């Protein structure tokens, strides 16, 4: 299929010659064949003219859950990848939040095969330990060889300090990336939300910021001793930012991410006891959100993740204490970040990160494969269920006024438009 994008404003700060310039873009058989002020449409089988059309390199999300295998009622891989494509994401890092967990090479092969022939590329994480039970290392090297881009016992902290040390040392042999979820479960206790004024007022058991920060401090000490590559997913406190900033100053090979909702919301949202706001790590204070935003702007925080977690009505519409943790976020990510950071910074955040995970970086040049996201950064929207493409509808952004809309994406010689 040949596609002609008409009057598209290109957002790519790495290419100053075309950044924020309006151009026509011709794509032939999946390859960008021409970028020019004006291109006639005789070669195009599909001409795309959209209001205030902007184009960037395709976006990547570093933390997505679906459900298949084991929880297809939450989300299948096929519909999850379609949701990602409609939300502007041409690459996603898939969390091992499935049953059974992917702890061997056949499991990774299954996930890769289930994602074949889709617009959005799926890059799976394997678990760090067998059955994600924290006891014995999984088949890390074998999983790497068939496509695993990192190792993560999803939302489960590594309790055994020596196990983390050994994992960091062993994975240096093949440049593996070790994830460590920042939570000390003994400090957490039975807490379910951020410990503070709001939890006290509502009578909900709290999780101190210390539970996150103590684990991060431990992990960074082990990293300094063992070497290797460490990724700390979805940090949520101001002091976590400071700890990681100090580690980076020392030259440690550590990266981290923050979930969009931890930037946008605070624990005051819990006053309605709406279980869509029950997430892990929990929503924190306004001071924490400000520090996280500052960490993004300074570069201490490497990636913004949607932490997209589809859950069924039965898992969410129950008593707050019993509801599962998680919110979907693919569909609202761009529009929410755009409110906080503006379009250029948001696009920069959503297009970086591939190198850390060993994913090929796209290039917006003639002769290169088209890996593009189409969007309008200026239109204000009220985010409703009609904007949700996921099977599950558990979004904390429902009925929020956001800024910007995603038209769709182009990748793998395919186009998906909303």
DSSP 219-241: HHHHHHHH-S-EEE-----HHHH
Which DSSP state fits 217? H
Measured in Å, how far apart are the chain's first and last C-alpha atoms?
18
Instruction: Look up the CATH number of the domain holding residue 138.
Output: 3.20.20.140
Instruction: Look up the CATH number of the domain holding residue 30.
Output: 2.30.40.10
Determine contact, residues 171/178, Cβ cutoff 8 Å: yes
Pair 101, 146 in one domain? yes
Pair 178, 287 in one domain? yes
Report yes or no on 202 lying in a domain.
yes
Pair 25, 67 in one domain? no
Q: Per the structure, how many domains does the chain have?
A: 2
Report yes or no on 383 lying in a domain.
no
Pair 241, 353 in one domain? yes
CA angle 109, 114, 115 (to 5 degrees): 100
Q: If residue 411 lies in a helix (H) or strand (E), which one and from where to where?
A: strand 401-411
Pair 108, 51 in one domain? no
Pair 25, 72 in one domain? no
Pair 138, 23 in one domain? no
Pair 33, 94 in one domain? no
Q: Which residue range is the domain that position 334 belongs to? A: 58-357
Report yes or no on 175 lying in a domain.
yes
Angle between helices 209-226 and 238-249 (to 10 degrees): 10
d(CA 113, CA 109): 6
Report yes or no on 390 lying in a domain.
no
Q: If residue 416 lies in a helix (H) or strand (E), which one and from where to where?
A: strand 414-417
CB burial string 253-277: b at 16+ within 10 A, e below? bbbbbbbbbbbbbbbeebeeeebbb
Pair 17, 109 in one domain? no
d(CA 320, CA 254): 35
Residue 44 confidence (pLDDT): 66
Residue 130 confidence (pLDDT): 98
- Clarify whether 378 is annotated catalytic: no
Pair 140, 287 in one domain? yes
Report yes or no on 256 lying in a domain.
yes
d(CA 59, CA 91): 7
Pair 208, 248 in one domain? yes
Report yes or no on 388 lying in a domain.
no
User: Residue 302's closest CA among 58, 13, 60, 54?
Assistant: 60
| Per-residue pLDDT of the chain in tens (418 residues, 90 and over written 9) | 799 999 999 999 999 999 999 999 999 999 999 999 999 877 667 999 999 999 999 999 999 999 999 999 999 999 999 999 999 999 999 999 999 999 999 999 999 999 999 999 999 999 999 999 999 999 999 999 999 999 999 999 999 999 999 999 999 999 999 999 999 999 999 999 999 999 999 999 999 999 999 999 999 999 999 999 999 999 999 999 999 999 999 999 999 999 999 999 999 999 999 999 999 999 999 999 999 999 999 999 999 999 999 999 999 999 999 999 999 999 999 999 999 999 999 999 999 999 999 999 999 999 999 999 999 999 999 999 999 999 999 999 999 999 999 999 999 999 999 9
Question: Which of 184, 302, 307, 376 does the annotation list as catalytic?
Answer: 307
Report yes or no on 215 lying in a domain.
yes
Report yes or no on 285 lying in a domain.
yes
Pair 8, 103 in one domain? no
Determine contact, residues 155/205, Cβ cutoff 8 Å: no
């Amino acid at each position: 299929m040949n596609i002609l994008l008409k009057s598209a404003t290109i957002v790519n700060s790495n290419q100053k010659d075309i950044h924020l310039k309006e151009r026509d873009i011709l794509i032939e058989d999946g390859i960008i064949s021409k970028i020019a002020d004006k291109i006639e449409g005789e070669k195009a089988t599909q001409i795309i003219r959209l209001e205030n059309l902007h184009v960037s390199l395709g976006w990547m999300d570093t933390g997505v859950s679906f459900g298949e295998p084991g929880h297809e009622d939450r989300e299948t891989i096929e519909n999850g990848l379609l949701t990602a494509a409609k939300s502007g994401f041409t690459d996603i890092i898939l969390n091992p939040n499935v049953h059974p967990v992917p702890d061997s090479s056949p499991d990774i092969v299954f996930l890769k095969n289930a994602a074949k022939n889709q617009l959005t590329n799926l890059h799976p994480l394997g678990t760090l330990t067998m059955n994600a039970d924290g006891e014995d290392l999984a088949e890390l090297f074998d999983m790497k060889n068939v496509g695993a881009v990192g190792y993560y016992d999803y939302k489960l902290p590594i309790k055994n300090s020596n196990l983390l040390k050994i994992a960091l040392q062993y994975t240096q042999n093949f440049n593996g990336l070790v994830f460590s979820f920042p939570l000390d479960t003994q400090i957490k206790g039975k807490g379910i939300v951020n410990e503070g004024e709001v939890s006290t007022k509502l009578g909900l058991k709290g999780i101190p910021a210390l539970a996150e920060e103590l684990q991060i401090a431990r992990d960074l000490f082990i990293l300094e001793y063992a070497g290797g590559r460490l990724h700390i997913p979805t940090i949520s406190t101001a002091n976590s930012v400071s700890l990681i900033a100090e580690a980076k100053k020392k030259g440690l090979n550590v990266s981290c991410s923050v979930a969009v909702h931890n930037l946008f919301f605070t624990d005051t949202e819990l006053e309605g006891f709406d279980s869509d706001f029950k997430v892990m790590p929990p929503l924190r204070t306004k001071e924490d959100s400000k520090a996280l935003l500052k960490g993004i702007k300074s570069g201490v925080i490497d990636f913004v993740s949607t932490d997209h977690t589809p859950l069924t009505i039965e898992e969410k519409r129950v008593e707050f204490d019993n509801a599962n943790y998680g919110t979907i976020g693919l569909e609202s990510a761009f529009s929410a970040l755009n409110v906080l950071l503006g379009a250029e910074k948001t696009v920069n955040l959503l297009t970086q990160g591939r190198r850390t995970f060993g994913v090929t970086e796209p290039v917006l040049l003639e002769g290169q494969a088209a890996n593009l996201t189409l969007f309008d950064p200026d239109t204000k929207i009220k985010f409703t269920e009609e904007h949700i493409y996921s099977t599950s509808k558990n979004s904390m952004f429902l009925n929020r006024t956001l800024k910007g809309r995603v038209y769709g994406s182009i990748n793998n010689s395919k186009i998906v438009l909303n």
